[in-house]
Amino acid sequence: MKLLRLGPRGQERPALLDADGRPRDLSGLLRDITPRTLSPEGLAALRAVDPAALPLLPEGLRPGLPWRGCRKFLCVGLNYADHAAEAGMALPTEPILFTKQLSSLVGAQDSVVLPQGATKGDWEVELGVVIGRTARCIEPDEALAHVAGYCVVNDVSERSFQLERGGTWDKGKGCDTFGPVGPWLVTADEVPDPQALDLWLDVNGQRMQTGNTRTMVFGVAALISTISRYCTLHPGDLIATGTPPGVGMGMKPVPRFLQPGDEMRLGISGLGEQRLPVKAWDRALFDDR
């Protein structure tokens, strides 16, 4: 299934896509798509529903976050060997972990707003893993059974905050709007091998990133197992699993960074696409949050 939430911010309706890619309204069956919906029992109940029996929603509605109630937004750094090379950093011997603030979460067509003082905004297309069962100190061979589904994530970064101001990476990772997710959550049964997915990202129509999840240093199962030893993973938690090469910071001879007026388009095979306008910081852009 492809699950999504459509409508203006704060008024999103739960939906699924039918076999023809048309949005079907789930609001007659559930109030919203929540961590409970993403449990094995919740997803089994939705699979029993005939999409053709659900009302169609209008085309062109804004895609919001595909689910509500994410408690943790966890990320993995330098998880593609070729990306580590372009960054001039050694391959990690175990996953590099950091967090993005929940206030960074936005939908797949929302604006990315560069924060005050930003000079080095950057892009990172990533496979997102959404947890469906509580995971605590689990083994790699158990890990994928704890996945509700997968989605597209853009780990937008402000490199000057991340790398030049001391402390942790989180400074440049968790800015408001720096975590576009969606447009859909694709349930795990439709992604038989998360290590065989193509990723891409364009800026203003120019291809910047091309990669495949098979080149991850640590695969999805290993990441879930490792993270579950540092913190309990709950249904609805999101893991962004790292990015392939082609980020702006790594461009030679001159890095390329985001500017107001740019547009990012990115996607992952089978998981949909994002289209994100980049804007300069303006307090009025946050009046509805």
Residue 251 lies in a domain: yes
In the chain, what are the helix, strand and coil shares in percent, each to the nearest 5?
Answer: 20, 30, 50
Residue 288 lies in a domain: no
Q: CB-hemisphere CA count at 13 Å for 64?
A: 16
> Does the pLDDT at position 41 exceed 90?
yes
Residue 22 lies in a domain: no
Helices (H), the chain: 40-47, 81-87, 140-143, 159-164, 220-227
Domain count, the chain: 1
Identify the pLDDT of residue 271.
98
Q: Which domain holds residue 249?
A: 69-282
How far apart are alpha carbons 142 and 72 in whole angstroms? 21
> Does the pLDDT at position 111 exceed 90?
yes
For residues 131 and 233, is the Cβ–Cβ distance under 8 A?
yes
pLDDT tens track for 205-241: 999 999 999 999 999 999 999 999 999 999 999 999 9
Position 88 confidence tier, pLDDT thresholds 50, 70, 90: confident
Residue 53 lies in a domain: no
> Does the pLDDT at position 110 exceed 70?
yes
CATH number of the domain that 106 lies in?
3.90.850.10
pLDDT tens track for 131-182: 999 999 999 999 999 999 999 999 999 999 988 887 788 888 999 999 999 9
For residues 233 and 72, is the Cβ–Cβ distance under 8 A?
yes
Residue 211 lies in a domain: yes
Residue 42 lies in a domain: no
Element (H, E) at 211: strand 206-212
Sorted by sequence, the CB contacts under 8 Å of residue 254 that are 6+ apart come out as: none
Name the pTM for this structure. 0.96
Residue 241 lies in a domain: yes
Identify the pLDDT of residue 91.
85
Residue 39 lies in a domain: no
